[in-house]
């Protein structure tokens, strides 16, 4: 029932921005995290800037002591398909609750951006790919396994006409790094050809 209700909410809000009030009402009365997060997603994706920022801030204040919920908060923000997505993710790297050494935080924020925000990850200027490459370089020394796993979206470069060369170029940039871990080196070298 929850899944059907939240799918209907998503369709209604996407079809008509005036239906955002349905999401606001569900967010306020939700008796479980599934319904609250579903409503928060619609507000974050379709609400105006003030509503989105107020609701996201309120959610964080309510749940900041619950690490798993904060991870979902990071992931949701990384997936918002607006023009500020990349700059928002870059700013969240400096959030007090984000720690680049924590694999769950990295998967939520960076993985959320690369895997759940195709509009911004595949930006025409390649900045989404470059951002991911920079994070992989940083993680290479801290946690090579998570760095290697984050590369998965770039390894699918053959599937993206018009973007393939930029994606492959990012893999080549990574391959040229002097101190790649065996985990990252294997993924990069197998994927770039």
Divide the 193 residues of the chain into consecutive groups of 10 and give the mean pLDDT of each group: 96 96 98 97 97 98 98 98 97 98 98 97 97 97 96 94 94 94 92 72
Distance CA 76, CA 58 (A): 14
- CB 79 within 8 Å of CB 87: no
Q: DSSP string of 18-45?
A: GGHHHHHHHHHH-SSHHHHHHHHHHHHH
Q: Is 106 exposed, middle or buried (0-12, 13-18, 19+ CB in 10 A)?
A: buried
pLDDT value, residue 190: 86
pLDDT value, residue 192: 66
CA dist 67 → 99, 106, 149 (Å): 11, 13, 22
Phi, psi of 67 (to 5 degrees): -55, -40
Nearest C-alpha neighbor of 23 from the set 52, 1, 50: 52
**Tokens found for residue 162:** 């018009």
**What's this model's pTM, rounded to 2 decimal places?**
0.93
- CB 2 within 8 Å of CB 32: yes
């Amino acid at each position: 029932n929850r899944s059907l209700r939240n799918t209907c909410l998503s369709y209604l809000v996407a079809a008509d921005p005036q239906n955002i009030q349905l999401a606001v009402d569900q967010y306020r009365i939700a008796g479980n995290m599934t319904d609250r997060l579903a409503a928060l997603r619609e507000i974050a994706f379709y609400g105006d800037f003030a509503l989105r920022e107020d609701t996201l801030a309120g959610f964080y204040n309510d749940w900041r002591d619950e690490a798993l919920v904060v991870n979902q908060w990071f992931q949701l923000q990384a997936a918002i398909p607006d023009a500020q997505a990349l700059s928002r993710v870059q700013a969240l790297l400096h959030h007090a609750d984000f720690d680049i050494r924590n694999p769950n935080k990295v998967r939520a924020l960076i993985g959320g951006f690369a895997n759940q925000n195709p509009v911004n990850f595949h930006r025409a200027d390649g900045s989404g790919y470059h951002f991911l490459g920079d994070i992989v370089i940083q993680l290479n020394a801290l946690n090579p396994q998570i760095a290697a796993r984050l590369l998965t979206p770039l390894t699918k470069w053959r599937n993206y006409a018009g973007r393939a060369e930029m994606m492959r170029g990012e893999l080549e940039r990574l391959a040229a790094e002097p101190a790649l871990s065996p985990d990252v080196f294997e993924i990069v070298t197998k994927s770039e050809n």
